[in-house]
Amino acid sequence: MKPSLIRIILIAAVLGTTIFAAYFGWRAFFVSNASKALVPDLPAGGIFPAEPGGGAENSEERNSAQEISSEGKVQLERISNAPASDFWINLLTDEVFYLTEDGRVFKVNEKEDTEISRQTLGPLNSATPSRSGESMLVSFGGRENPRWAIFDAASGAWHPLPSGIRAAAWGRNSDEIFAVVTQNGTRPLVRMDLSKTPLSSQTILRDLNLEEVALAFRESPDALVISEPPSARIASRTWLLDLSPKTPTLATLFPPAYRFTVAVSNGGTLYLASGEQFRILDAETKENAFLLPFHTLSGKCATELTSDGDFAWCFVPRSSLAEVAAAEDYRRRKTFSVDTLYALDIYNDELLKVFESGVDDVPAIDAEKPRYGRGGVYFINRYDNLVYRLRLNADSD
């Protein structure tokens, strides 16, 4: 078995600390003046009201970086020119794309981003990249009557999906999606084959009979996690639809819980958050796959599927997560957190603090929608809605 990434980072960290201590003295952080201008220095330790304004387009140079010598070298880079509602990484080409609030699509370039689609589709509801990152499954136009489409990064074209879709998720590959649709007063769950022209649909459940749900696909064995949206007033329910038998079976995955969220990694690991609890569970046994010394939100973890299993990068608010998870104001973007990034080698039981924001001259980061790409962790910083990258082992370039 190859050494895990955490072991490599730990070795680099020890060597880096020794060299810096012997020859240059201790200097915990370096941040350029340009970096300070991008994200304001904010008080540490707690969530606090949002500042008015923010999120405006920023055309300053994006070559600022910070170097963390105490835990190995990491560079923080702003990579988007404009605020993003979501983004994705084409893992085949390493290209990064992002969506603006009105649906325009940009490709990240070193100096000036390229607008590859000027079509505006209305406010963005959700966006999910395919596993390879070649396509993006997107919902626009409000939650009452959403419109769904797929953006193909190679052609730069939108491909609209049939009307009536209420929820959707990628299946095993970019030719397959699962969707809850409105049909003659019912809401069947269907499997759509996008490789066919016109696309074909197979009914999985005749009527899901749920007002609003989110879908997430899990492999080995194939299954769908079906969850209701988190709420502070109504307990959310979560089910597992086993697709492996000839007749799919639906069973309760977790009992009803308030403010409950669930995310599914590429390898099938479950990330759960509810109230003061945050857990990483093995999808098969439903037992803890990793004992955690912190609490975060399920949407603050990026996952990487390695030969050794699932690997995770979790942004963790330094403030009380009971406060963050419970705060409706946080979901409404009226309050923010100040995050620390941890690396988790789940099945080798290793944990490392990689990066800490909001201390000394390091700008505050409240990360959302983190995604792992080759050589780094990408995310949107809620303070300015720009896309950033934390390059790992930057000294090895």
The tens digit of pLDDT for each residue in 20-43 reads 333 333 222 222 222 322 333 333
**Looking at residues 227-252, what average pLDDT do you find?**
88
Residues with Cβ within 8 Å of 342's Cβ and at least 6 positions away in sequence, in order, are: 294, 313, 314, 316, 351, 352, 353, 354
Lowest-pLDDT range of 273-277, 293-297, 376-380: 273-277
What Å distances lie between residue 26 and 36, 223, 353, CA to CA? 21, 51, 18
Tokens of 395: 């000294």
Residue 261: predicted pLDDT: 85
Considering the chain, what percentage of its residues have pLDDT values greater than 90?
Answer: 37
Q: Give the predicted TM-score (pTM) of the model.
A: 0.78
Q: pLDDT band for position 373 (50/70/90)?
A: confident
Residue 276: predicted pLDDT: 66
Residues with Cβ within 8 Å of 118's Cβ and at least 6 positions away in sequence, in order, are: 104
**Looking at residues 295-312, what average pLDDT do you find?**
80
d(CA 61, CA 348): 40
Q: Give yes or no for residue 177 having a pLDDT over 90.
A: yes
Tokens of 179: 């969707």
Q: pLDDT band for position 2 (50/70/90)?
A: very low
If one compares 131 and 49, the residue with the highest pLDDT of the two is 131
Q: Give yes or no for residue 105 having a pLDDT over 90.
A: yes
Residues 366/336, Cβ–Cβ less than 8 Å: yes
Average model confidence (pLDDT) for the chain?
A: 78
β-bridge mates for residue 243, sequence order: none
**Looking at residues 208-233, what average pLDDT do you find?**
87
Q: Give yes or no for residue 314 having a pLDDT over 80.
A: yes
Q: Give yes or no for residue 275 having a pLDDT over 70.
A: no
User: How many other C-beta atoms lie within 10 A of the C-beta of residue 295?
Assistant: 18
**Looking at residues 233-240, what average pLDDT do you find?**
88
**Looking at residues 107-136, what average pLDDT do you find?**
90
Tokens of 116: 């590859």
Residue 189: predicted pLDDT: 95
Q: Give yes or no for residue 142 having a pLDDT over 50.
A: yes
If one compares 234 and 330, the residue with the highest pLDDT of the two is 234
**Looking at residues 170-174, what average pLDDT do you find?**
91
Residue 309: predicted pLDDT: 67
Q: Give yes or no for residue 59 having a pLDDT over 60.
A: no
**Looking at residues 256-276, what average pLDDT do you find?**
81
Q: In a 3-state reduction of DSSP, which class is residue 260?
A: coil
Residues 381/394, Cβ–Cβ less than 8 Å: no
No. of H helices and E strands in the chain?
A: 4, 32
Q: pLDDT band for position 388 (50/70/90)?
A: very high
Residue 242: predicted pLDDT: 92
